[in-house]
């Protein structure tokens, strides 16, 4: 695999901009006052699928060959990546099959079906679903789309960081959630090309630390299980392409707890009036954890997705009420 470049991100923008408008990037006074730094929030939860990954899906599906489109595509996802492939496949007339783990977010699964893709539930988590998908791709001749080891996905996602730095060229720090690493890799490629002094900090769940452990140790580390309600962060296995990019370019990766994620969801709701899912609040959770080191800085935070279930949001709100 060839790592995508800044030029690839610029090329992706020419495609993505035909189908998606830039999402709001807001300086949030109430959030800034609470955290002690200048907080700017990128609202990718307002994308047509409620998540940033649609950018990568459009860039990749639009560039498939006629034969690949005719064969159809298949991918594994806990939700938002699957939504991106389903959305782009509908846009370009491609049949799509999404393999998801049993017990996946029902809102995301229904949304994938509503976009016309087929959904197959297999395995206890993302990585078991991925193994099923890979076997089906080999057996039936689908074009397999990996959720991270795809240069075109990463380049497409990079367009959101172009938007951030066009509006905030003097950014000091960008916080990014880390699941498979496509978003974090894209942030690194763009930020370091525009201004190498910008720090990119990845945020991963304590309950799904495979990328953190791999980055820290310098070797590929798989975990036995994941324990996080943030399905966008729930990966047990690091991936070659994104790890290669992050090892070279990311400044730091930190871990946050489930309580940190829940608190960040509530803080974003209170201060920005935006709904974030678990992974979507990870950037903010990481910045809260590092707030003492960020005083006086311009900090970009990403709400990477807003596809939280009403049941989960009620649970978080009730727990907060009970703690008062």
Catalytic residues: 53, 304
DSSP 31: H
Within 10 A of 141 (CB to CB), how many other CB atoms are there? 12
Burial 188-199 (b: 16+ CB within 10 A, else e): bbbbbbbeeebb
Within 10 A of 161 (CB to CB), how many other CB atoms are there? 28
Secondary structure element (H or E) that encloses residue 95, with its range: none
Within 10 A of 138 (CB to CB), how many other CB atoms are there? 10
**CB neighbour list of residue 181: distance below 8 Å, 6 or more residues apart:** 148, 202, 211, 238, 239, 242, 243, 245, 246
* CA atoms of 262 and 33, how far apart (whole Å): 20
Burial 32-66 (b: 16+ CB within 10 A, else e): beebebbbbbbbbbebebbbbbbbbbbbbbbebee
CA distances from 10 to 5, 48, 81, 105, 221 (A): 9, 22, 21, 33, 33
């Amino acid at each position: 695999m060839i790592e995508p470049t800044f030029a690839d991100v610029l090329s992706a923008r020419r495609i993505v901009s035909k189908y998606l408008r830039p999402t709001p990037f807001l300086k949030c006074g109430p959030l800034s006052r609470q955290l002690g730094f200048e907080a700017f929030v990128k609202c990718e939860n307002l994308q047509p699928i409620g998540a940033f990954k649609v950018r990568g899906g459009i860039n990749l599906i639009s560039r498939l060959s006629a034969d690949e489109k005719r064969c159809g595509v298949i991918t594994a996802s806990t939700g938002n990546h699957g939504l991106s492939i389903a959305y782009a496949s509908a846009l370009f007339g491609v049949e799509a099959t999404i393999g998801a783990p049993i017990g996946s977010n029902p809102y995301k699964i229904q949304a994938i079906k509503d976009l016309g893709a087929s959904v197959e539930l297999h395995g206890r988590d993302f990585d078991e679903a991925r193994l099923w998908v890979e076997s089906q791709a080999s057996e039936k001749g689908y074009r397999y789309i990996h959720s991270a080891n795809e240069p075109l996905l990463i380049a497409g996602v990079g367009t959101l960081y172009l938007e951030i730095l066009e509006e905030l060229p003097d950014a000091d720090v960008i916080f990014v959630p880390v699941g498979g690493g496509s978003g974090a890799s894209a942030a690194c490629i763009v930020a370091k090309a525009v201004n190498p002094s910008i720090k990119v900090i990845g945020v991963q769940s304590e309950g799904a630390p495979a990328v953190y452990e791999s980055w820290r140790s310098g070797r590929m580390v798989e975990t036995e299980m994941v324990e996080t309600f943030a399905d966008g962060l729930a990966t047990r296995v690091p991936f070659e392409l994104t790890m290669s990019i992050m090892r070279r370019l990311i400044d730091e990766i930190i871990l946050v707890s489930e309580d940190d994620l829940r608190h960040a969801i509530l803080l974003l709701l209170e201060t920005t009036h935006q709904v974030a899912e678990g992974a979507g609040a990870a950037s903010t959770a990481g910045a809260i954890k590092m707030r003492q080191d960020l005083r006086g800085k311009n900090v970009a935070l990403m709400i990477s997705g807003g596809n939280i279930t009403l049941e989960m949001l009620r649970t978080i709100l009730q727990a907060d009420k009970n703690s008062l």
